[in-house]
Amino acid sequence: MNGFILIQMTNKMKTITIKNLEGFSGVILIPVFETYSKSLVPIEFHGVSVPSKVFYGKKDTHYLIEKYDCLHIFIGLGTVINYKDLKTIFRRISAKQKESFASEVALVVPEQFSLEQ
């Protein structure tokens, strides 16, 4: 499964599946599976890259970058992920970055995720 889920933060939270982020402004949540910290290949999404020396997807870590009228939040998932862990990680980040979540939020669904996850 690969795509984006747009979460509109209004009185009632609405979710919409979208095909691309063209024209989007808001928060983009980017889950990242753990890589090797000394990897030469940066983690990259939507024209934004993070060197692996700075962020490599270690569980319970995140890294923020503002670019293209968006706040990109790279979220470390570790090597294995399940729904409970994912939910806990997103709650923790939304509490730490609550001022950023007043706008629209897009969640990137990695292609490694199955429909069951």
Comparing 95 with 3, which gets the higher pLDDT? 95
Is residue 104 in some structural domain?
no
Buried b (16+ CB within 10 A) or exposed e, 75-93: bbbeeebeeeeeeebbeeb
Is residue 54 in some structural domain?
yes
Q: Each residue of 25-41: pLDDT tens digit?
A: 888 888 888 887 777 77
Is residue 71 in some structural domain?
yes
What residue type is 61 in one-letter code? T
**What's the confidence (pLDDT) of residue 117?**
46
Number of domains in the chain: 1
Least confident stretch, 1-10, 14-23, 84-93: 1-10
Q: What are phi and psi of 35, to 5 degrees?
A: -115, -170
Is residue 2 in some structural domain?
no
> Which residues constitute the domain of residue 69?
32-96
Answering whether pTM is above 0.85, one says no
Q: Each residue of 54-104: pLDDT tens digit?
A: 888 888 888 999 988 888 999 888 888 777 777 788 888 888 877 877 678
Is residue 4 in some structural domain?
no
Is residue 113 in some structural domain?
no
Residue 87's contacts (CB-CB under 8 Å, 6 or more residues apart) are none
